[in-house]
Structure 1
Amino acid sequence: MWHGPLPSPTPRRRPVSGEAPAPGPATDPAQPLADRLAALRERVAALVARRGADDPTAGDPLRGLYLSGDAVRHRLRGEAEAGGPPPEGWAEPEPPDGAAEPGDRLGLLARRLGLTPLDTTVLLIALAPDLDRGFEPLYGYLNDDVSRRRATTGLALDLCGLLAPDGAGAAARARFHPSAPLSAYGLLSVEETDRPFLGRSLRVPDRVAAHLLGDGAPDAALAGYVTELPGDPADEPTAPDDRLGALLAAGPAIVYLREHRDGDGLARAAAALRAAGRAALHFTPPAAPRRPDGGTAEAAPDERGPVAALLREARLRDCAVVVAPLPDEPGALMRELAVPDVPVLLCGTRPYDPLWCARDPLVLEAPRTRAGAVDTWEAALGADAAAADLDLAAAVAPYRLDGERIRRAARSARALAALEGTALTSAHLRHAARQQSASGLERHARRIRPDVGWADLVLPDGPLGQLRELALRARHRDRVLGDWRLSAGGGRGRGVLALFAGDSGTGKTLSAEVVAADLGLDLYVVQLSSVVDKFVGETEKNLERIFTEADRTDAVLLFDEADAVFGKRSEVKDAHDRYANMESAYLLQRLEAFDGIAVLTTNLRANIDDAFTRRLDLVVDFPFPDAGQRLALWRHSLAHVPCAEGIDPGPCAREFELSGGSIRSAVVTAAYAAAGRGGPVTDADLLTGARREYRKGGRLVLDDTGW
């Protein structure tokens, strides 16, 4: 006996040449299902007729609620003897070319997942009560229990002609095993496992039924975890990856993309999937549960949340899965996602550990996301980019953002411009782009939102030119070190490192803030109290956290008083010297792999180890201001202060050798004195402030009665 599938939907007449296609539900997914259900209804009717033949309880309205003597004797005689031989299975073969009718989602799904005709038939039998309530009483009758209105394994096999009087064979029963396609792919659930095998209920998940009816809404279990990965080439700042794309186009594969920075792997995955012509779901795993000792615990199989629903959704849509970022302990997740029929791309910053998964993925290095992806910004801003009067390339040059974060930044920038009622400006773009950078540095450093510019610096031409060069290097490092291959190799990063050396108050911190403002980045000042630790090895761990976060953040990192950490190595005379040298050796290695922008400041350049100096891109010396620069500093500090008519800071600039920071403090003292009496600042106020700064420095000044 051949047990074939349910008949395919009834073919429809094709229009003749020149004739418009006849309107109808030919592409409506519900119509092919309705055709299949009609054939199933005939099969059910035949089985009902066979069951009812010679059944003394067939007309009993309480049939199924109790067993009468006649019913028991009827059962003992056997249904085959009472009702004749079981009917043959459906005999209509599959279409010879294996093609399904357009809109026949069940047929397409069966062919894509390699389901057998028996699998397809069982799936339809289990699905029928969810699509047509008319099957419920019929199934209740055939189950001999009016309260059980879903198909059972026994009923499904009987409808397929596979339930012999002595029970189903092993091959037929195996189609309901948890490892069989229907259950393994999440298309069918065998419930009530405490019942005998043939009496267990079959249920089709609501998401599968919705998909077969043409509903494209994702599973509710994936809400908050899954988004569709965009497929527009203009959306991503990474060039198409033809080799990885060809691999994904050839068939399912599992790939681990190791990132240097969060977002690098996602950008490459999107480019490769575009090259392969495949859609994808971006999955953000839920946080792993915490153990009592503070670590993370791998979830039990029944606590893995939406992973099973994710794989089922990928199978229904025939798309890939991209996981980014990976959880801290990715082993359980990778083992569950390592399936042979769904392409999976995993993105993480950690090196691959073979203990994570028995099926090793293809491990690839994700290229770094380039800064200043102008085309992606233009696509995200749309018409606003053309209407705005701004230099887009210069505005976004420092930001290393992937396509999704660029789109979010563009939305925020447009919303900010609309709130202010102005056209889109560079300030709006920079403010929005800063919001998309990681904020983990705030746990280790103090953030400064720069509010200064080049006009606030009073420096000689030499140091000022070096500061502008520092900003230039930060903007064009990807082109020079990456495209032009001028990186020294050896795992070195593309960071920009500078040392600002000079006496206290000469403008080192202010200059770092000006450079950050010119780049449109935040300035993070590292707190030495949060870095240096008395316990051996803890200082290095704290510095590693800072460097790691700085690599992930578009910001300028400032190590103030850097000689406390980047000091000279010395001859080892005791354990203290040994561990101090180990700390310096770690910093030397870490600076070479650094990928961000860092500024070190020191009052004592001679205390900085020469090995650190060699790794620096720029060393800017800040000289003590001469009389002319001091006069410019006095005037700049008084620019927004109400002053008496004819005030002249010249004598203070000539007579008091003060740094720029001390001059500002003197002006603050004078301003408070003027505010206290309710008048403008006078020459006497300036003189009082200058003398106070001299005394603070431990230097002698004349009595207040004269110079």
Structure 2
Amino acid sequence: MTTAQRLSAPDTALAELWERLGHVERRVRVAVALRHEGDPAPDDPLRGQYLTPAGAERVLDSRDAFLPVPDLGPGAPPERGRIAELAGRFGLTGPDVDLLLVAMAPDVDARFERLYGYLNDDLTRRRATIGLALELCGLPGAGPGRFRFAPSAPLVAGGLVEVLEPERPLLSRVLRVPDRVTAHLLGDDEVDARLHGLVRVAEPGDEPDGGPVTRRVAAAAGTGSGFTHLLDRGGDPARLAVAALTASGLRPLIVDPAALAAAPEPARAARLLAAEARLSGGGLVLGPLEALAPEQPKGAALVGALCAAVGGLSPLLVYGRKHWDPLWAGESPVTVAVPPPDPADAVRRWRSALTGAGAAAGLAAGTEEADALLADATRAYRLDSGQIRRAADVAVRLAAQEGRPVEPADLRTAVRAQNGAGLARLARRIEPTVGWDDLVLPPATRRQLSDLALRARHRDQVLGRWRMRPGGGRGRGIVALFAGESGTGKTMSAEVVAADLGMELYVVDLSSVVDKYVGETEKNLERIFVEASEVNAVLLFDEADAVFGKRSQVKDAQDRHANVESAYLLQRVESFDGIAVLTTNLRANLDEAFTRRLDVVADFPVPDAQQRLALWERCLGTEIPRAPDLDLATCADRFELTGGSIRACAVTAAYQAAESGRPLDTEQLVAAVLAEYRKLGRLVLESEFGPWLERGRRR
């Protein structure tokens, strides 16, 4: 609710509060009159600053804590409206409500400050003490009413009243009501300012329409303690949790786990979160749990503190990819698996996010053609509702810079911007700049690459909703093997596939993975696999036979640990949820058990003469000036080179042409080929080079 809405709304909450505070005021008037009647010096301007002998006698003659309290006015009116809601949510009785209003009165009406100072016999103490609050509510100081301010009592445990000055005797301790409680009773529903940056109210959005999973989550959150764990299986658990709470008529409060973990006093923050949920009639949504590292003692203590603070009095929905560990908290939740979303639902969410971000045309138009284009552009991505909203905003701003509608390229750029930097610390990040037209490959190899891209786009539908890979701890990832000689285009093909999917390519640096210490290689690989599952990217293991090698017969401890690494990789590749490409020059060196776990195997043969000619044309480009006698067909026919070697020769020849200041001719190109042969250690045969051999040697 905005400030304008709050000011223009009927002030029923304020009227109810004034009525109750009017009752408190009548009690205070009676108490002041009784105190004034027995005061020997009521007009003393320094009253409350010192104690005379007569005043000491009056204190001794006054009633003690065990005597009945005098009647301080008529009984309080019955609770209704916000006061009744607050009493019901926090389990308050009639005396609890009276004590709360007495403690809150100075925050609403400044007159009570001076009156409480007078009644406290100390003008500097302008809030109600426990003793004064009990007196105004007709409760003896030595009676059971004093225990309503115990740490476990509803007023204090619920965060409605704070008892200050613990060094003083109990009856002299000052009571303070948090500003958030006062604001709530005055009709303000803004989140507690002490929770700024820690929690936010879910914005009204395009929520799912009461599907079976949503109904299950709503039922789990509305029964028992309301403690529910959403196990992420490729879906959007945060959005599902918000939808379930909204369907139950509750206010969804989304907690930032990173901010909670970084809070100076996490336990206090957990109590404030629990109080806010109860006060506003809402439920807490926390996740992903991995951000809290609950497997660590500090993270587990934080999860346990939040569960204990909520105590089953408000729904608590947590989500993440990890299964719940009973050691994380004293109570176990109801677990609900969250499957991948339906493709039509994903399109609807993207369109809603684009429309909300201000896209007036293009992919947000809502036509069948626009929906098909939007589905094709976003099908390969796994994003939650927050990431979709942020990506849509970035895409709209990218299109607005050029004054055009949103295009698929804008969406792909925006999605790449959502990838975190965690994987970039473990692998080399490459933004693809090549496409299918840049590849020169046999038709069979191109079909295998197209099959890899097809699998990546439809894996959620086939492996998720259709459950074509059930059981056994198998993930929903796609793993491919590119096998062929060095320079045949394996790495470039991985980049092309990533570009076709609108993703980035992360090349694993083997120097940061392989470790001489036992067990460290597996730990490094596990970090890479975990981070890769969190981003929309293609993971490339170049020269994969270095870590995916064959298991051998155990002859010593070194062989045994090498086999352990291979066995770990066999298991981890099968449970991987991302897209991975392995490249190798020696396919025979890979363990045969990996073959069964591969979805696509693409062979990259050495190019033939026709393919070599196409490679020469692409590598030389159109910018470099060419001599009329440049004979690329002869070079392609005579020299059996791979694509990588042809690219190296083209670069070398370009340098020679730049140095000579004349167009590139055949002699310069053959000289570059001769240098490449020597670099590769290949035999230089006169039958292959012909008349250019002697001229190349002279150069």
TM-score by shorter chain over 0.5: yes
Quick one: structure 1 residues 177 and 420, their matched pair in 2 at CA, closer, same or farther if it must change by over 3 Å?
Answer: same
Give the conservation status (yes or no) of the 8 Å contact 1:240–1:274. no
1:484 aligns with 2:466: yes
Aligned pair 1:353/2:325, yes or no?
A: yes
Aligned residues: 663
How far apart, CA to CA, are the structure 2 residues paired with 1:330 and 1:194? 33
Residue 647 of structure 2 corresponds to 664
Answer whether contact 1:448 1:524 (CA < 8 A) is retained.
yes
1:253: which partner in 2? Answer: 226
Aligned to 1:138: 115
Structure 1 Cα separation of the partners of residues 599 and 13 of structure 2: 64
Question: Is residue 165 of structure 2 the alignment partner of residue 192 of structure 1?
Answer: yes
Offset from partner CA, 1:38-90 (integer Å, 9 cap, x none)? 22211111111112224212232222222222222222332599x99711564
Q: Compared with structure 1, are the counterparts of its residues 438 and 368 closer, same or farther at alpha carbon in structure 2 (3 Å cutoff)? A: farther
Instruction: Give the C-alpha shift of residue 217 in structure 1.
Output: 2.5
Q: Which residue of 2 aligns with 1:590?
A: 572
- Which string of whole-angstrom CA distances, capped at 9 and with x for unpartnered residues, describes residues 380-420 of structure 1? 00176661166111111111000011001111111122223
Mapped to 2, the partners of 1:341 and 1:138 lie a distance apart of 37
Residue 296 of structure 1 corresponds to which residue in structure 2? none
1:417-566, aligned counterparts within 5 Å? 417-566=399-548
One-letter identity of the residue aligned with 2:564? M
1:569 aligns to what SS in structure 2?
A: coil
Aligned-residue offset at 1:586? 0.9
Whole-angstrom CA distance in 2 between matches of 1:138 and 1:668: 91
Aligned equivalent of 1:64, options 31, 45, 48: 48
Deviation of 1:238 (Å): 8.8
Partner of 2:366: none
Instruction: Read off the aligned partner of 1:249 and give its amino acid letter.
Output: G
Match of 2:551 among 553, 569, 582: 569
1:403 equivalent to 2:385? Answer yes
Cα separation, 2, equivalents of 1:131 and 1:25 = 19
Give the conservation status (yes or no) of the 8 Å contact 1:253–1:340: yes
8 A Cα contact 1:257 1:347, kept in partner: yes
Which stretch of the first structure deviates more once superposed, 437-446 or 589-598?
437-446
Matched, 1:344 2:316: yes
SS of the counterpart of 1:224? Answer: coil
1:38-437 to 2 correspondences below 5 Å: 38-79=22-63, 86-87=70-71, 90-92=74-76, 94=78, 100=80, 104-163=81-140, 167-169=141-143, 171-234=144-207, 240-250=213-223, 252-259=225-232, 264-286=236-258, 304-326=267-289, 327-328=292-293, 329-338=298-307, 339-368=311-340, 373-382=346-355, 387-388=361-362, 391-437=373-419
The alignment partner of 1:598 has SS state of strand
Q: Which shifted more, 445-454 or 33-42?
A: 33-42
Which segments of 5 or more consecutive residues in structure 2 lack a partner in the other structure? 1-6, 364-369, 687-692
Question: How big is each residue's C-alpha offset from its partner over 1:608-652, in whole Å with a ceiling of 9 and x where there is no partner?
Answer: 111101111111111111111111111121223323253330110
Q: What are the superposed Cα offsets for residues 482-502 of structure 1, whole Å, 9 maximum, x if unpaired? A: 222211421101111111111
Q: C-alpha distance in 1, partners of 2:315/2:122?
A: 44
8 Å contact from structure 2 (residues 221, 228) kept in 1: no
Q: What one-letter code is carried by the residue in structure 2 that aligns with 1:184? A: A
Distance in 2 between the 1:700 and 1:132 partners?
100
The Cα of 1:549 is off from its aligned counterpart by 1.1
Q: Provide the rounded CA distance (Å) in 2 between the counterparts of 1:26 and 1:555.
A: 53
CA 1:644/1:78 → structure 2, altered by over 3 Å: closer, same or farther?
closer
Instruction: Please give the secondary structure, in 2, of the residue aligned with 1:146.
Output: coil
TM-aligned CA deviation for residue 93 of structure 1: 5.5
Report if aligned partners of 2:340, 2:464 keep a CA contact under 8 Å in 1: no
TM-score under structure 1 length normalisation: 0.88
CA distance in structure 2 between the partners assigned to 1:634 and 1:381 by the alignment: 44
Deviation at 1:288, TM superposition (A): 8.4
Amino acid at match of 1:155: L
CA distances 1:331-387 after superposition (whole Å, capped 9, x unpaired): 222332221312111223444333322223334444356789211111100176661
Q: Report matched runs for 1:27-46 at 5 Å.
A: 27-46=11-30
Cα deviation per residue 1:470-489 (whole Å; 9 max; x = unaligned)?
Answer: 10000001111122221142
1:201: how far off? 0.9
Structure 1's 615 and 529: CA in aligned 2 closer, same or farther, altered over 3 A? same
* Distance in structure 1 (CA, Å) of the matches to 2:631 and 2:210: 55
**Cα gap change, 1:230 to 1:553, in 2 (>3 Å):** same
1:435 and 1:320 map into 2 onto residues whose CA distance is: 31
2:367 matched to which residue of 1? none
How far did 1:547 drift? Answer: 1.0
Write out per-residue CA displacement over residues 271-301 of structure 1, whole angstroms, 9 at most, x where no aligned residue: 43244232211112356889xxxxxxxx99x
Q: Helix, strand or coil for the counterpart of 2:228?
A: strand
CA distance in 1: counterparts of 2:668 and 2:696, whole angstroms: 14
- Matching residue of 1:20: none
Tell me the C-alpha RMSD between the 2 structures: 2.7
Change (3 A) 1:118 1:85: closer
For residues 558 and 658 of structure 1, the distance between their equivalents in structure 2, rounded to whole angstroms, comes to 25
CA distance in structure 2 between the partners assigned to 1:693 and 1:139 by the alignment: 95
1:19 aligns to what? none
Partner residue, 1:652: 635
Task: Specify the SS of the correspondent of 1:477.
Answer: helix
Q: Tell me which amino acid in the other structure corresponds to 1:387.
A: A
- Which residue is 1:696 aligned to? 679
AA of the residue aligned to 2:670? L
1:658 counterpart SS class:
coil
* CA deviation after TM superposition for structure 1 residue 523, in Å: 0.6
> How many Å apart are 1:25 and its aligned residue?
8.0
> In structure 2, how many angstroms separate the alpha carbons of the residues matched to 1:544 and 1:237?
37
After superposition, the Cα gap between the structure-2 partners of 1:490 and 1:196, relative to the gap in structure 1 and judged at 3 Å, is same
TM-score by length of 2: 0.89
Using the alignment, how far apart are the partners of 1:337 and 1:283 within structure 2? 11
Cα distance in 1 for residues equivalent to 2:439 and 2:456: 20
Change in 2 beyond 3 A, CA 1:673/1:237: farther
CA distance in 2, matches of 1:303, 1:125: 30
Higher helix share: 2
1:678 aligns with 2:661: yes
> Residue 359 of structure 1 aligns to a residue in which SS?
coil
- Give, in angstroms, the shift of residue 552 of structure 1: 1.2
Amino acid across the alignment from 2:648 = S
For structure 1, the residue ranges without an aligned partner over 5 or more in a row are 1-22, 291-298
